[in-house]
């Protein structure tokens, strides 16, 4: 069963070692756990639906509560405090593209808004119903989760768009293929959600981002069905796939997607390497990307993230022993940890391993084998469960991210971290802010910031501090020439920064497309880009 007010399966818990609790308490003070609103109380707060009964959807209170919020920090605060405020008036679970068409027709007839819903893992408010007189209907795509066709000759697989990460891999594996798209939310997020938010998987360096994997597909719009043929390349004018990618449910409901798949690799290994300081680690990341190194993943933690990762990992004796060895080799205070992956045939992995080790050594790195990389692999989808445990201990964890050219990475990182620290300080609170570079390109990298802070007794105040910090960080990101989002998308939390990113004419273009496809403005209003 899935948690209704936190992350993931109820039966899975992230156990925080005692030493890690002491580490957090020392840096942030003791966390105060405010009691959570219970499920029944929140259920009782669901107002009557404004939609008529209809065979296409349910107006059941429980379904409406479970689709009211996603995974952003404001969502967590709403769910934990019981102040959820807005609920969808109904939840549809279509099984076919024709069902989706019918639902769209119903929404057009009565003028209700439609919120396409994949796994509900949005961290920026994508799927939240907004206040207003218009009823809203959430379209949960979970029943549309099948592999429909596999063209092995072209290595193209067609799926219904509500298919989750594990369902994709389970259906491809018997045929010997993988999609290789592994966002950290992989357990719950869906193909349609990935496309609609331009998601990035952890091994994007090998497999590409979702825009590289999405070859074509079908989207139902109020104007009619858009069907995009999969083509290896095309010069026939602007690429319409790019309009669907990142459309955040504003232009239509993606019902099917054809994606580029690859044979399952013979072998995949993950490694660790240490650098004496952040600067040499960044240089190594840039060298890896610009040398087109044979890796599948590269993730460089800054010094504080490196220490926090080691502290939260537990296994104290092993860590103390490794720590001693690293210090002897000159990798003490200020060290940074690189996790990298190599994927392919046995022969390829073996030769690539040597090539990459040599490159890292030339950059001052100390490759330390597969133990740390193996641990990372084991916990890659488990780490999000830490958020539940931290909350129960009285701490909130949130993340934000950007991407920018190499020349701006260091300054942006320093300024964003400082802006978050200052925002918390100015409100008399503390925070632990750390970062990593997670996706690298020849011309730049994505910067991912995590911050942990004590939850106040007053959750309204916690929300206020979060807003202050989020805005301060967003302003620094934009001032440094970064994108407001490398992978999480826009939703509602990044809406006000879209003008800086796209410009007035860019926004008019997007609105033009929206008005052409959805003149009544029924699709996920208030998300993605401002309405004109």
Ligand X SMILES: Cc1cc2nc3c(=O)[nH]c(=O)nc-3n(C[C@H](O)[C@H](O)[C@H](O)COP(=O)(O)OP(=O)(O)OC[C@H]3O[C@@H](n4cnc5c(N)ncnc54)[C@H](O)[C@@H]3O)c2cc1C
Q: Where do we find the tokens 């929206």? A: 514
By rule CB under 6 A, what count of residues binds ligand X?
A: 38
User: Using the rule CB under 6 A, which residue among 70, 94, 129, 272 binds ligand X?
Assistant: 70
Query: Closest separation between CB of residue 17 and ligand X, Å?
Result: 21
Q: Where do we find the tokens 């232009």? A: 251
- Report the phi/psi class of residue 86: left, alpha or beta, with left for phi > 0 and alpha for psi in -120 to 50: beta
Residue 509 tokens, joined: 């273009």
The span from the CA of 70 to the CA of 140, in Å, is 13
Binding string, residues 291-320; x marks residues near ligand X by CB under 6 A? ------------------------------
Binding string, residues 156-185; x marks residues near ligand X by CB under 6 A? -----x---------------------xxx
* Contact positions with ligand X (CB under 6 A) in 456-495: 487-489
Check binding of 122 to ligand X (CB under 6 A): yes
User: Using the rule CB under 6 A, which residue among 31, 90, 94, 116 binds ligand X?
Assistant: 116
Q: Decide if 491 contacts 72 (C-beta within 8 A).
A: yes
Query: Closest separation between CB of residue 521 and ligand X, Å?
Result: 14
**Nearer residue to ligand X within complex by CB, 201 or 365:** 201
Residue whose beta carbon is closest to ligand X: 193
**Nearer residue to ligand X within complex by CB, 166 or 325:** 166
Q: How far is CA 400 from CA 142, 163, 253, 344, 483, in A?
A: 27, 26, 27, 32, 11
Check binding of 253 to ligand X (CB under 6 A): yes
- Report the phi/psi class of residue 461: left, alpha or beta, with left for phi > 0 and alpha for psi in -120 to 50: alpha
The percent helix, strand, coil of the chain (3-state, each to 5) is 40, 20, 40
**Nearer residue to ligand X within complex by CB, 243 or 254:** 254
The span from the CA of 444 to the CA of 15, in Å, is 36
CB atoms within 10 A of CB 330: 11
- With a CB cutoff of 8 Å and minimum separation 6, the contacts of 429 are 453, 454, 456, 465
Q: Which strand (E) or helix (H) includes residue 285?
A: helix 278-290
Check binding of 141 to ligand X (CB under 6 A): yes
**Nearer residue to ligand X within complex by CB, 204 or 429:** 204
Query: Closest separation between CB of residue 202 and ligand X, Å?
Result: 6
**Nearer residue to ligand X within complex by CB, 70 or 135:** 70
Query: Closest separation between CB of residue 428 and ligand X, Å?
Result: 29
Query: Closest separation between CB of residue 219 and ligand X, Å?
Result: 7
Binding string, residues 328-367; x marks residues near ligand X by CB under 6 A? ----------------------------------------
**DSSP code of residue 128:** P
Pairing of strands 395-405, 177-178: unpaired
Check binding of 402 to ligand X (CB under 6 A): no
Check binding of 384 to ligand X (CB under 6 A): yes
First to last CA, the chain: 41
Query: Closest separation between CB of residue 367 and ligand X, Å?
Result: 25
- b/e for 378-404, b at 16 or more Cβ within 10 A? ebbbeebbbbbbbbebbbbbbebbbbb
The span from the CA of 34 to the CA of 32, in Å, is 6
Segment interacting with ligand X (CB under 6 A) among 39-47, 121-129, 265-273, 497-505: 121-129
The span from the CA of 383 to the CA of 183, in Å, is 12
Segment interacting with ligand X (CB under 6 A) among 247-255, 262-270, 467-475, 492-500: 247-255
Binding site for ligand X (CB under 6 A): 7, 70-71, 115-123, 126-127, 141, 161, 183-185, 189-190, 192-194, 196-197, 199-200, 248-249, 253-254, 384, 487-489, 524, 527
């Amino acid at each position: 069963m899935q948690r209704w007010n936190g992350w993931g399966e109820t039966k899975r818990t992230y156990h925080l070692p005692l030493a890690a609790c002491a580490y957090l308490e020392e840096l942030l003070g003791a966390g105060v756990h405010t009691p959570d609103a219970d499920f029944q109380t929140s259920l009782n707060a669901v107002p009557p639906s404004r939609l008529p009964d209809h065979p296409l959807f349910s107006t059941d209170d429980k379904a409406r509560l479970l689709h009211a919020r996603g995974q952003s920090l404001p969502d967590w605060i709403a769910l934990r405090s019981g102040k959820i405020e807005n609920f969808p008036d109904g939840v549809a679970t279509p099984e076919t593209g024709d069902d989706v068409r019918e639902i769209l027709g119903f929404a057009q007839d009565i003028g209700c808004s439609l919120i396409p819903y994949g796994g509900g893992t949005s961290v920026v408010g994508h799927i939240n119903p907004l206040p207003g007189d218009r009823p809203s209907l959430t379209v949960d795509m979970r029943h549309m989760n099948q592999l429909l066709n596999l063209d092995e000759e072209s290595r193209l697989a067609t799926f219904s768009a509500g298919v989750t990460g594990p369902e994709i891999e389970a259906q491809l594996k018997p045929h010997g293929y993988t999609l290789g798209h592994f966002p950290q939310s992989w357990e719950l997020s869906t193909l349609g959600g990935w496309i609609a938010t331009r998601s990035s998987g952890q091994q994007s360096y090998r497999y590409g981002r979702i825009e590289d994997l999405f070859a074509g597909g079908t989207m139902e719009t109020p104007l009619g069905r858009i069907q995009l043929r999969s083509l290896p390349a095309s010069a026939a004018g602007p690429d319409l796939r790019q309009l669907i990618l990142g459309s955040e449910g504003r232009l239509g409901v993606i019902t099917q997607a054809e994606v580029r798949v690859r044979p399952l690799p013979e072998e995949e290994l993950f490694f660790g390497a240490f650098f004496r300081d952040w600067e040499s680690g960044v240089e190594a990341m840039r060298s890896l990307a610009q040398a087109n190194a044979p890796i599948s993943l590269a993730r460089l933690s800054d010094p504080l993230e490196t220490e926090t990762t080691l502290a939260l990992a537990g296994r104290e004796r092993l860590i103390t022993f490794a720590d001693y060895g690293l210090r002897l080799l000159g990798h003490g205070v200020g060290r940074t940890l690189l996790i990298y992956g190599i994927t392919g045939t046995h022969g390829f992995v073996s030769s690539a391993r040597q090539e990459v080790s040599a490159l890292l050594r030339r950059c001052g790195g100390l490759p330390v084998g597969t133990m740390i990389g193996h641990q990372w692999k084991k916990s890659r989808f488990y780490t999000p469960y830490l958020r539940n445990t931290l909350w129960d201990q009285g701490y909130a964890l949130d993340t934000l991210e950007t991407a920018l050219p190499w020349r701006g990475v260091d300054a942006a990182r320093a300024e964003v971290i400082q802006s978050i620290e200052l925002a918390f300080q100015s409100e008399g609170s503390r925070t632990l802010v750390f970062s990593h570079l997670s996706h690298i390109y020849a011309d730049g990298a994505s910067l991912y910031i995590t911050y942990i802070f004590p939850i106040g007794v007053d959750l309204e105040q916690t929300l206020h501090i979060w807003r202050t910090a989020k805005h301060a960080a967003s302003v620094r990101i934009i001032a440094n020439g970064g994108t407001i989002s490398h992978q999480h998308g826009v939703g509602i939390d990044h809406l006000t920064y879209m003008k800086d990113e796209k410009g007035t004419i860019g926004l008019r273009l997007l609105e033009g497309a929206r008005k052409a496809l959805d003149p009544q403005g029924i699709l996920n209003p208030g998300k993605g880009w401002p309405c004109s």
